Amino acid sequence: MVNYAIELRGHNPALYTAATHWLGVSYFHLFLY
């Protein structure tokens, strides 16, 4: 999974940023509720 993320970051930084942002928001909501 980590290797895939590194690969994705290398090939498509915009998508990687969107994915990490979405994960961060999801984690925040989990923590909030």
Mark the ranges of the chain whose per-residue pLDDT is less than 50.
Answer: none
Nearest to 28 by CA among 20, 15, 14: 20
DSSP state at residue 12: -
Where on the phi/psi map is residue 10: left (φ > 0), alpha (ψ -120 to 50), or beta?
Answer: alpha
pTM value > 0.85: no
Q: What are the start-end ranges of the H helices in the chain?
A: 2-11, 13-32
Q: What pLDDT score does 14 carry?
A: 78
Say how far apart CA 12 and CA 29 lie, in whole Å.
Answer: 26
